[in-house]
A = this chain, B = another copy of it.
Amino acid sequence: MDASGLVDLKIVNGTVLTMAPGAEILDKGTVTVHQGVIRDVTSRAEDLPARKVIDAQGNLVMPGLINTHTHVPMSCFRGLSDDLPLMDWLEKHIFPAESLFVNADLAYWGSMLSCLEMMLSGTTTFADGYFFEEQVAKAVLDSGLRAVVCQGVIDFPAPGVPDPTENVHRAAQLMREWGTRDPRLRCGVFAHSTYTCSPETLRRAKAEADEFDSLLFIHLSETRDETKQIEERFGCTPVRHLEKLGIMDRRTVGVHCVWLTDQDMDLIARNEMGVSYTPESEMKLASGVAPIPELIRRGVAVSLGTDGPASNNDLDLFSEMDVSAKLQKVHNLDPTCASARETVRMATLDGARVLGMEDEVGSLEPGKRADLIIVDLDKPHLTPIYDYYSHLVYAVKGSDVDTVIVDGKILVEDRRVLALDCAEIMDHVRRIGDRIRRHRHV
């Protein structure tokens, strides 16, 4: 507290789901926040006077959700083309649209729009990989969310990187220029995949990420075609390929990880590589079903991502939790796998673990940054309540999130976005959409 004896914020009377080891659910709990940090989480009433008090009576207070893989500027392409095979979708629709339309303006406004969507559905931290990532970084600072933004690296001309020999250099530039501007923002490298990046590119990308003590993300073993292609070119699986290149460790995040052999899973576990599981995208693009229970059994940190809004088509981690648990059950013909509680952990604490932020966010514990959301439980579809974890996965919708706080700052209250002009952001993206639509119809 400050000289006046006041703490910044007190959230009282709510049910507090801490996700901390041990006492995970507090009835009528109090969360105290000061200078962006959680000061206390207690089931006692807390007498400390506060500048602002939120009465969460009948609501659920929990850590903000963590989306470990997306491409936020792509909200501008949401629904542009669907129901197509991955390679057709990428090569005939997405890559051409990107080469024509992606610029700094699209990247910024698309990211702002995605930030709105994420905060309105309870996400407080996300990890992004795309081009013009300095624009994504700008949107992170402007929106108030927390993020790891990663400049895309790919061995062909890409938006903003016409000369592919510059790709790793551009990623390093982002980390250098933006990496230390704000505690809410971290930078990293997004190497697109083993089939679009040469071994040399991957090695250099990892070296730069290490240089800045940053994460490297990579699409990994997403489709059967990819694993065949890598097998033909390098005589091994994509995972083994990464290992041979020496770039698998706890600061590398494998995204998708659908087509894994037992050896692949052992390698991921042994090297402590984090995994981002994006079930809705893998379903929509018919990539396959990742062996999540087997990874978790091996102790791998598995988190949840939405993937980009053009392949999902939303950024809603509540629906991702629901689908994640259900898909694993039906795929394994085992209703006991992927429990509700494990699934909530994937979207909170394990997300933080994968991003190397477990000391900072992912649970409500004293000393962690104050990233939290309040879910309004006073709804027909959330009545009655027997089990909070079950509700969070199988019944709560993103639109039930009432209040969103990041770094102690209230971004959304009573579903109103406080500091951003939603209409202006939507208008900008609509104009971008109009240009894209006109071009398609020529």
Residues of A within 8 A of B (CB): 75-76, 78-86, 89, 113, 116-117, 120-121, 224, 280, 282-289, 309, 312-316, 319, 322-323, 325-327, 329-330, 332-336, 338-340, 378, 380-381, 383-387, 390-391, 394-395, 397-399, 422, 425-426, 429-430, 432-434, 436-437, 440
CA gap between A78 and B113 in the complex, in Å: 34
Question: B323 contacts A326, CB within 8 Å?
Answer: yes
CA gap between A394 and B335 in the complex, in Å: 25
Question: B426 contacts A76, CB within 8 Å?
Answer: no
> Knowing A78-B395, A381-B117, A433-B383 touch, does A339 contact B83 (C-beta < 8 A)?
yes
State the number of copies, please. Answer: 2
17 pairs, CB–CB < 8 Å, chain A vs chain B: A75-B383, A79-B391, A80-B386, A82-B390, A83-B335, A83-B339, A84-B335, A120-B381, A280-B326, A284-B325, A284-B330, A284-B335, A313-B390, A313-B394, A380-B422, A383-B430, A384-B433
- B residues in contact with A322, CB < 8 Å: 280, 319
CA gap between A336 and B80 in the complex, in Å: 15
Give A155 Cβ to nearest chain B Cβ, in Å: 25
Give A144 Cβ to nearest chain B Cβ, in Å: 15
Question: B398 contacts A83, CB within 8 Å?
Answer: no
CB-nearest residue of chain B to A392:
B79
Question: A84 contacts B395, CB within 8 Å?
Answer: no
Give A10 Cβ to nearest chain B Cβ, in Å: 27
Give A29 Cβ to nearest chain B Cβ, in Å: 19
Question: A286 contacts B334, CB within 8 Å?
Answer: yes
Question: B433 contacts A79, CB within 8 Å?
Answer: no
CB-nearest residue of chain B to A382:
B78
- B residues in contact with A333, CB < 8 Å: 224, 286, 288
User: Which of A314, A384, A385 has the most B CB atoms < 10 Å from its CB?
Assistant: A384
CA gap between A383 and B422 in the complex, in Å: 11
Question: A330 contacts B76, CB within 8 Å?
Answer: no
Question: A398 contacts B397, CB within 8 Å?
Answer: yes
Give A432 Cβ to nearest chain B Cβ, in Å: 7
- B residues in contact with A75, CB < 8 Å: 383
Question: A381 contacts B79, CB within 8 Å?
Answer: no
CA gap between A89 and B284 in the complex, in Å: 30
Question: A79 contacts B286, CB within 8 Å?
Answer: no
- B residues in contact with A385, CB < 8 Å: 79, 433
Using A76-B384, A314-B394, A380-B426 as known contacts, list a sample of 14 further A-B pairs with CB atoms less than 8 Å apart, ordered by residue number in A: A75-B383, A79-B395, A85-B335, A113-B380, A224-B333, A283-B330, A284-B325, A286-B335, A312-B394, A313-B391, A313-B394, A319-B319, A380-B422, A383-B426
- B residues in contact with A440, CB < 8 Å: 386
Of B113, B332, B390, which contacts A79 at CB under 8 A?
B390
- B residues in contact with A390, CB < 8 Å: 79, 82, 313
Question: A287 contacts B330, CB within 8 Å?
Answer: yes
- B residues in contact with A89, CB < 8 Å: 335
CB-nearest residue of chain B to A258:
B330
Give A67 Cβ to nearest chain B Cβ, in Å: 14
CA gap between A113 and B381 in the complex, in Å: 8
CA gap between A432 and B325 in the complex, in Å: 28
CB-nearest residue of chain B to A327:
B283
CA gap between A80 and B383 in the complex, in Å: 11
CA gap between A75 and B81 in the complex, in Å: 37
CA gap between A37 and B365 in the complex, in Å: 58
